[in-house]
Structure 1
Amino acid sequence: MSQNLLIELKGVAKSFRAADGTARSVLEKVDFELKEGEIVALLGKSGSGKSTLLRIIAGLIPSDTGKVAYRDRPIYGPVAGIAMVFQSFALFPWLTVQQNVELGLEAQGVPADERETRADAVLELIGLAGFGGALPRELSGGMKQRVGIARALVTNPDVLLMDEAFSALDVLTGETLRNDMLELWDEDRIPTKGILIVSHNIEEAVMMSDRIIMLSSDPGCIRCEVKIDLPRPRNVDSPEVRALIDEVYGLMTMRPVQEVVAGAVAHKHQGYRLPETDVSRIEAVLDLLADAPFNGRADLPQLAEESELSDEELFPTYEALGQLGLTLVEKGDISLTPLGKRYVEAEQSQRQELFGQQLLTHIPLVAHIRRSLEQEANGMLPEGPFLELLEEFLEADEAKRVLGVAVEWGRYGEVYEYDYHTGRLTLPETAEES
């Protein structure tokens, strides 16, 4: 056991039981280490189990199999040396800032005088001196997250876990808070020895971390790692940082072999999951890509900047565009396919026709719904059976989301109709008449 090894995971797996008792694998064969002096970022699409992994390390939920250890001691529950910062701030609205920060110390049995002294010190450190008596409702989003960070730091944790800690903030506030955290870390003004960050933001991961680990989805497992040797603070506009951002974008948009194979055979446990994006966003990105200055081909980070959409919004859109055969992503660049060029030049009715054709050819769930409707004498079916099918391998909320995407895409492509009052899917009138 290395003396500077903080967190060690070996062969970690986690499944959740659905309402019908079926086990759904979220994480599989995860090996991971966090060493002293490291900031590590976890990146992955929805369904990759990033937050689940963080909660296992925090001791909030157990793994099913494998080793989970902090300083070579098994983690069976919350550990005094590990603290977590949540995306949602997770503050108690009826408690003052001071009381929120002192909560962890109170749970550890720290005397009141010491709690107050330590809370005062960390509030000053994090830029909230004088706000101890305020209630959360009196604070801005950035200040609320500073309280969340102060509450974590006041326990003097060895390991700080940050779950999308800056994503609920506006860009400028998030960047300011991120830079403040890095300054405290780099100047050794906090006792924390290692930080693990879950993020959707590639630029944030490159600017903050020493290593970036990417997870594949369904189930989540580590697919690759990028080491970053650049000193901090880093200049986001430097060629070295831009090259790294390009590299990570390229890796994030590359489909792992197992996903390609699953898609090729249209295995329902993989092929029926749809990315979380809508038609308007798909077409907006297409039109932006087609226009100057890109003229059909763009560097992904530049397109992200121009679109003013977050990576969390863009990655599902890139995935959808690729599935529909409208764009191609290679080595951090995205380009229109010949079909994509036809699409952006087409009139509205032609766009919808092309969209429908591509859905039936490349999106197994939409094709399955259409075939099922065609087999009915009245061309009509309730949504229930399709939800039940999706719930065989997805959580109920995720199944509902996926069916919602399939409904929106299918209606736009005139593959089928949907009645929101009755929850029934029907063939379009033209299809029924033919």
Structure 2
Amino acid sequence: MALLWVSVFVNIGLLGFFKYYNFFVDAFVDAFSLFGLSIQPNTLNIILPVGISFYTFQTMSYTIDVYRGKLKPTRDFISFAAFVSFFPQLVAGPIERATHLLPQFYKKRSFEYSKAVDGLRQILWGLFKKIVIADNCAEFVTIIFDGYGSYSGSTLLLGAVLFAFQIYGDFSGYSDIAIGTARLFGFDLRQNFAFPYFSRDIAEFWRRWHISLSTWFRDYVYIPLGGSRVSQWKVLRNVFVIFIVSGFWHGANWTFMVWGALNALYFVPLLVLKRNRVHTGVVAETRLLPNFREFVGIGSTFFLTVIAWVFFRAASMQEAFSYLQGVFSRSLFSMPEVRPRFLFVLLLLFIVVEWFGRREQYAIERLWLGYPRAVRWGIYYVIAMLIFLYGGKEQEFIYFQF
């Protein structure tokens, strides 16, 4: 037990110092200023190690699983070091569990053509998501968010919607590239996104968005707090704890915590009404299109998610509230002042492909496998050409900062 707590405190301590030192100093100063006391503390110009949140949680899962008896401690330092620093997912996940990834380093691997082709296919789709969808959305998102005070409500809503697609294309695109690259080397990484914008409620959304982080907080925070096996009030407390901690994990800014708290508020009615496990399968699994009820569920869930994303994107709480105030103004029903027509076409194409591939691990995994080889290769070349022709200006991966 002592060694477990030493490991946890060291990991949390390093993460807290590099990521949250200045945040806590500023909060300390603000607290004293309420009593009329002025403090001039020294803050540090700390360079945040890339991906520290991801590999910190990954090593913590190893320690905790060893303590729980789910995994035998490894005596192979090289394999353990490779598990911690596995390059495809080192800087932005998925957050892998030692029980799943570490044993793969013990096995002898040989090249498998089918796995390599599958990996390349997933990398291709990940690149399309990132370079064509996310990077093109980012240009307009930056313009709208930076000048939010001078735009109509419809334009601001468009900016928030484009950011929803930007962050999804950016992060799920990186996950696809990481998972596909790992498969080239014979490693299997877990799915990190399962078409979350086709969710019919917020509970389903969080089962499909950033799955490796959501399940990490479930297994190592929510369940140890009692999960859903305690009183109703404690269950609600646990929900708010994991959502707010999840927000705080993303960065040292109140906007992230409000983003987490807002998602908790979305989640609570489903939990109270015991409807948080209603939608566990794929939407319209045996049908081409969703029915009216499913369509309304998808639309309302997406809208709530878009509103929450404003807090995630905004630089401050004041900016977030001002932005939302602008969204819900009389100009909400006017024509947007920014109309990226070519981007709408790309987004429509993207949504259609994702919809038809929603039953798979990634959209184009099996989408055209029944077609002749010439047709399949032609489609892959078209996707590659779209990447070259419509790739937006180079944008850093959003989750590199976390």
Same-fold call, TM cutoff 0.5: no
Report which of the two has the higher share of helix: 2
Interval containing the TM-score (normalised by the shorter chain): under 0.3
TM-score (norm 1): 0.26
Larger radius of gyration: 1
Q: Which has the higher contact order (CA 8 A, sep 6+)?
A: 2
Scaled by the length of structure 2, what TM-score is found? 0.27
